[in-house]
Amino acid sequence: MSLSREQMLIEMGIAPVWALRIPLSAPSLAAAVDASAPQEPVPCADQPSTIGAPEPSSPGAIQTLDWPALTKAVAGCRACPLCQQRKQAVFGVGDLNPDWLFIGEGPGADEDAKGEPFVGQAGKLLDNMLAALDIARGERVYIANAVKCRPPGNRTPEAVEMAACWPYLERQIALLKPKIIVLLGKSAVHAVLHDDKSLASLRGQRFEHAGIPVVVTYHPAYLLRNLPDKAKAWEDLLFARRTLREQAVPELPF
Ligand code: URA
């Protein structure tokens, strides 16, 4: 379905009339309840790989991998307990020469099943946020996560899990060379900026990772639960777009 720009803004809650097209479902509530269940992490390092992928690489070795080798390493990663219950690692999706890199938290059930980030309800909102910026999934944008494997019950990834996954994301960023990075929510902020401050205190600022500008906004799943903050997210995206445009080398006037 293709929506007009006006419809996109309405969808994001920026226009006067707002309508939720994606009601929160009973399964998502069940998942939220399940997220509080105690987890018993068991490292994967002792388990035989079922994927036939290479041995896990050291963080230093990961920084030398090319894109295909990095993809393989992630598919076979057993560096943290999240590998145990995943159906598959979710590497990322999009343009390999992107202007924009959006980073979320980690795959949920839908993403784990499909092998692609942001394909559930939050993903639909993210697609609408992208469309409001006149970009479509796969064109000028790459989408990745702070962790590549689904945290059981969709709980927040642990700091050690994000630390184990960081070399992969770091290498993705180095290979993709986006012009701007947008961090969606606290986990992404924690992973990339190593900062635990509130999102509210970090919004509207320009950070940097490896010389690339980084901005912060709310996670789409949070926005689905906190509709008034969609307007703030739109402000953040406009700030990100201005920051991106500042990166562009001005065209010669003659
Ligand atoms: N939430 C995320 O942070 N990432 C996904 O891929 C899906 C939902």
Across the beta sheet with 141-145, the strand order is: 93-94, 141-145, 100-104, 180-184, 212-217, 207-209
pLDDT of residue 248: 73
pLDDT > 70? residue 147: yes
- Sorted by where each starts, the structural domains of the chain and their CATH numbers stand as 63-247 (3.40.470.10)
Mean pLDDT is lowest, of 102-106, 182-186, 210-214, 243-247, for 243-247
Rg (alpha carbons) of the chain, rounded to whole number? 18
CB-based burial of residue 215 (10 Å sphere; 0-12 exposed, 13-18 middle, 19+ buried)?
buried
Predicted pLDDT of residue 254:
82
The pLDDT, as a whole number, for residue 26 is 32
Residues 103-128, mean pLDDT to the nearest whole number: 97
pLDDT-based confidence at 7, cuts 50/70/90? low
**pLDDT higher for 164 or 46?**
164
Type of residue found at 1:
M
| 206 Rama sector, left if φ>0, alpha if ψ -120 to 50, beta otherwise | beta
Confidence of residue 25 (pLDDT cuts 50, 70, 90): very low
Atom of ligand 1 nearest to the CA of 116: 6
CA dihedral sign of residues 135, 21, 237, 164: negative
pLDDT score of 144: 98
More confident residue, 237 or 3: 237
> Looking at residue 253, what is its pLDDT?
81
CA of 108 to the centre of ligand 1 (A): 6
- Tell me the C-alpha distance between 156 and 200, whole Å: 19
Atom of ligand 1 nearest to the CA of 104: 3
Q: Which amino acid is at 93?
A: V
Average pLDDT over every residue of 227-234: 97
Q: How far is the CA of 191 from the centre of ligand 1 (A)?
A: 14
- 180-198 pLDDT, tens digit per residue, is 999 999 999 999 999 999 9
| Ligand 1 centroid, distance to 185 Cα (angstroms) | 10
Q: Are 223 and 182 in contact (CB under 8 A)?
A: no
Q: Which residues contact 122 (CB under 8 A, 6 or more apart)?
A: 104, 108, 219, 220, 221, 224
Tokens of 218: 């709310």
Which of 45-49, 102-106, 227-231 has the least mean pLDDT?
45-49
Protein residues whose CB sits closer than 6 Å to any atom of ligand 1 = 104-108, 111, 117-118, 122-123, 145, 221
Ligand 1 atom closest to Cα of residue 111 = 6
What's the pLDDT score for residue 180?
A: 98
Q: What is the reported pLDDT for 185?
A: 98
- Count Cβ atoms below 10 Å from residue 30 Cβ, excluding itself: 11
pLDDT in tens, 29-83: 233 223 333 333 445 544 444 444 445 578 899 999 999 999 999 999 999 999 9
Determine phi and psi for 98, rounding to 5 degrees. -90, 155
Q: Which of 214, 246, 220 is nearest to 234 (CA)?
A: 220
Dist. CA 143–CA 201, nearest whole Å: 24
Q: What is the rounded average pLDDT of the residues 100-127?
A: 97
Out of 41-50, 196-205, 241-250, the most confident range is 196-205
Q: What is the pTM of this model?
A: 0.81
The reported pLDDT for the residue numbered 247 is 83
Parallel, antiparallel, or unpaired for β 180-184 and 212-217?
parallel
Q: In whole angstroms, how far apart are CA 207 and each of 124, 149, 182? A: 27, 26, 10
Over pLDDT 70: what percentage of the chain? Answer: 77
Mean per-residue pLDDT of the chain: 84
Residue showing tokens 């290479």: 54
